[in-house]
A and B are shown apart, each in its own frame.
Chain A
Amino acid sequence: MTTLSPAAARTWSRLPRRHVPVLATLVLLLVLYGVGVSQYRAFSNVQVVFNVFIDNGFLLVVAVGMTFVILTGGIDLSVGSVVAMTAMVSAFLLEKGVPAAPVLLVALLIGPTLGFLMGCVIHFFDIQPFIVTLAGMFFARGMCTFISGSSIPITDGFWTRMSQERVGNPHGNFVSISVLIAFAVVAVAAYTLAYTRLGRNVYAIGGNAQSALLMGLPVGRTRIAVYTISGLCAAIGGILLSFYTLSGAPLIAVGMELDVIAAVVIGGTVLTGGSGYVFGTVLGVLVLGVIQTLITFDGSLNSWWTKIVIGGLLFAFILLQRLIGIRYK
Chain B
Amino acid sequence: MTNHQASYRALTAHRLFWPVVVLVVMLAANTVYRPSFLSVQMRDGHLYGSLIDILRLSAPLILVALGMTLVIATGGIDLSVGSLCAISGAIACLHISRQPDQNSFGAVLTALALGLGVALVLGAWNGVLVAVIGIQPIIATLILMVAGRGLAQLITEGQILTINSDPYKAIGVGHLLTLPLAIFLAAAAALLIAAATRRTALGLLIESVGGNARASRLAGIRSARITLLVYVISAACAALAGFMMTANVSSADGNAAGLWVELDAILAVVIGGTSLVGGRFSLGGTILGALLIQTLTTTVYAMNISPQTSLLFKAVVVIAVCLIQAPGFRARFTRRTTPIATQAAVVEQPKEQVRA
Contact = CB atoms under 8 A, between A and B. Distances in A.
Contacts of B143: 311, 314-315, 318
B239 interface: no
A131 B142 contact: no
A13 interface: no
A146 interface: yes
B191 interface: no
Interface in A120-153: 121, 123-128, 130-132, 134-139, 141-143, 145-146, 149
Contact of B144 (A125, A213, A311, A322): A311
Contact of A145 (B154, B271, B308): B308
Contact of B138 (A121, A265, A302): A265
B352 to A, nearest CB: 5
B279 to A, nearest CB: 13
A143 B312 contact: yes
Contact of B356 (A145, A219, A310, A311): A219
Interface in A93-138: 121, 123-128, 130-132, 134-138
B356 A134 contact: no
B315 A270 contact: no
Contacts of B271: 131
Nearest to A311: B147
Interface size class of A (residues with CB under 8 A): 35 or more
Contacts of B142: 258, 262, 314
Interface string B335-354: 00000000000000010101
B147 A142 contact: no
A127 B322 contact: yes
B146 to A, nearest CB: 4
Interface stretch (B16-24, B35-43, B262-270): B262-270
Nearest to A323: B133
Contacts of B266: 130
Contacts, number: 143
A2 B308 CA distance: 69
B2 interface: no
Contact of A142 (B139, B140, B144, B310): B310
A128 B356 CA distance: 15
B46 interface: no
Given A121-B323, A305-B154, A262 B312 contact: no
Interface in A279-324: 302-312, 314-315, 318-319, 322
B63 interface: no
A322 B315 contact: no
A121 B311 CA distance: 19
A115 to B, nearest CB: 15
A19 B352 CA distance: 32
Interface string A212-256: 011000011000000000000000000000000000000000000
Contacts of A88: none
A142 B352 CA distance: 35
A61 interface: no
B169 to A, nearest CB: 26
B276 interface: yes
Nearest to A132: B322
Contact of A125 (B138, B139, B323): B323
A265 B310 CA distance: 32
Q: How large is the interface on B (under 10, 10 to 19, 20 to 34, 35 or more residues)?
A: 35 or more
Name the residue in B135, B139, B314 with the highest tally of chain A Cβ atoms < 10 Å from its Cβ: B139
Contacts of B332: 124-125
A266 interface: yes
A214 B352 CA distance: 12
A146 B312 CA distance: 8
B326 A139 contact: no
B143 to A, nearest CB: 5
Contact of B146 (A311, A318, A319): A311
B354 A319 contact: no
B267 A265 contact: no
A219 B355 CA distance: 11
Interface in B124-158: 133-136, 138-140, 142-144, 146-154, 158
A271 interface: yes
A308 B328 contact: no
Given A210-B354, A265-B136, A307 B309 contact: no
A261 interface: yes
Contact of B314 (A128, A138, A303, A308): A138
Given A128-B275, A141-B311, A270 B136 contact: yes
A145 B271 CA distance: 26
B133 A319 contact: yes
A20 to B, nearest CB: 14
Interface in B237-289: 254, 263, 266-267, 270-271, 275-276
Contacts of B307: 145
A220 B315 CA distance: 24
Interface in B152-188: 152-154, 158
Given A132-B319, A142-B313, 15 more contacts: A124-B328, A124-B356, A125-B332, A126-B326, A128-B276, A135-B315, A141-B311, A149-B308, A213-B354, A258-B142, A262-B139, A303-B158, A304-B152, A305-B154, A311-B144
18 contacts: A124-B356, A126-B328, A127-B323, A128-B322, A131-B322, A142-B310, A142-B312, A149-B308, A265-B138, A271-B136, A302-B158, A303-B150, A304-B150, A307-B147, A311-B144, A311-B146, A314-B146, A322-B133
